[in-house]
Amino acid sequence: MKKFLLFALLVLPLAFMSCGSDNEPNYPDQTLVVGDTYRIPGGETGWTSDNDLVASVSGSTVTAELVGETVIRNGSKSFKVTVTSKSKLFKEPYMRFGASKSTVKSVMSSYTLSKETTETLLYNGTYPVSYYLYGFKNEAMNLSSLVIPVTSVTAENLVDFLKERYLYVTSNEAEHYFGFISPDMKTLVVLNISTFNSQVVYMISYGEYTGSSSVPAQVMKIAKKHITPEASNNMSTINSEYSRLLDIMPEMKIESNTLVK
């Protein structure tokens, strides 16, 4: 009898604890595709996101906004949300700014090196990318770019790819470029319509964001040092392509002049 009582004293509290934990909401990490929603179990309000640009919260519903990672919190409760993309149109270049040439060469070892100078590495790409370009200053990578002929992708598919990953923040008709920024505010992206090897191309350049509202113009200057657009007889095509892109760009949610750290 004493043994039975001892067994009951040991087992019953564990049983009650087990039942109690079954009733507690579980908050596992989530992987969502841009545009997807997730209902947080328990129906509690008061949830917030560490980065609303990646995933926002309204009540107990999480909405995936842009590619990236964030943490959803409510007091001591939290879980991570990873947002992935629908569009896989092309592979973006290596973007670890400050990396050495040897590091970039190692990362790009499966691609053919087309040209090397003291300040650049140019690689042949894979469709639809014709080339990947890396620029260096003081032996550290400060720019990565890619070149896509306008005949290889549609403007709509290109904008879909970019708007799933970046915020549209500025444009410049004279230079034919559009500026974007990553949701973690670390990378600036410039989409420029230009010419390369006698083709009209989309040139997409990636640079580290330093907190200046003039960064789109600065990145464009850097890009032009590494890929010099040829004198073009295709200005009508370039202007037309710029207008097409402008018409389908997403709404500008953040003005570039507010992007000062």
Residue 26 has pLDDT above 80, yes or no: no
pLDDT recorded at residue 7: 42
Q: Where are the domains of the chain?
A: 2-84, 101-258
Residue 260 has pLDDT above 70, yes or no: no
66 token code pair: 């842009």
Q: Token pair 């507010």 is at which residue?
A: 258
Q: Token pair 């003005």 is at which residue?
A: 255
Residue 21 has pLDDT above 60, yes or no: no
At 98-109, the pLDDT tens digits run 999 999 999 999
pLDDT recorded at residue 175: 84
What is the distance between the alpha carbons of residues 98 and 1, in angstroms, rounded to a whole number?
74
Residue 20 has pLDDT above 50, yes or no: no
The CATH superfamily holding the domain 2-84 is: E set domains; domain 4 (2.60.40.1380)
